[in-house]
Structure 1
Amino acid sequence: MNFFRRWHAHHEFHHHFGHGHHGPHFGRHADGFAHLLLNRVGAKLDLDAEQHRKLGAWLEQLQHQRDTMRGLARGPEVAGLFAAEQFAREPAQQLLDAKLDALRAAGPGLVTAFADFFDSLDDEQRQALRFMMRRHGRHDSRHDQRDAA
């Protein structure tokens, strides 16, 4: 990949989801972020069509899980927790249990989808992915320290 394409991908990524962005990346621009992530990781790792499909399947499951969790935390159920003079402990516990059940139900599928993607990578691609993950982790810790200051 030439310098301009790498710079442009970096610039686009940070323009939409990086500098000055506060909150989770899977926010209101989640579909755009997943598409950008799919394309960016695909280009960095030089994924073939099957690997690209497997990464897309994992990101789709992740997005579905996110939507499910958001659906459980919205609406009149949450507002009802604060409506009375006393906090509605039992309904709050039921809402938490529903979220945990949804996470438990989706967990095996998410793990399998990511494992299928990861296992399809060759040694060089796995090493590049590990490097990207380490680099991303260091970026987050620097970002968190900067936000705390």
Structure 2
Amino acid sequence: MKRLGLLCAAAVLTLTGALPPVAAAAQPTPQPSAPPSGSHGDMFSDVLHGEGLVQTKHGPVRVAIQNGDATKVTDTALTVRSSDGFTRTWQLPKDLKVYAKRQTIQPSGIMPGTELTVAGTAPAEKSATWTAKRVVVRTPSQPSEPSS
């Protein structure tokens, strides 16, 4: 269980940019075969949402990850609802990285209904202001069907 926690923490740190990808890719035990290729979002596809504290060279940092559907998107914020009903609003910084099909896209490309994975941080003190650091689009929103 401790190994799983360390691997998850390394993956969240990679998503938030606190660790280089090589550090997060290190496995605590050898794997019998390589995992299927995909984005970081694939690794956490069964995680609805979670948060924790990680120690960095600048002190402890609260990190979180959330899978869900974008319900509201503005130039500065993204609201995501997980399948269990949990909802969080993420602030969108100017340097936000958004990935779709391994390509970087503009945050404005996220539409309501888009299925995604968000990883980010909050200040060390308890705060409701979460800042998205990485967004991985898992399933783009589908255009609405025209009414008959």
Normalization by structure 2: what TM-score? 0.25
Normalization by structure 1: what TM-score? 0.24
Higher helix share: 1
> Which structure carries more relative contact order (alpha carbon 8 Å, separation 6+)?
1
Bigger radius of gyration, 1 or 2? Answer: 1
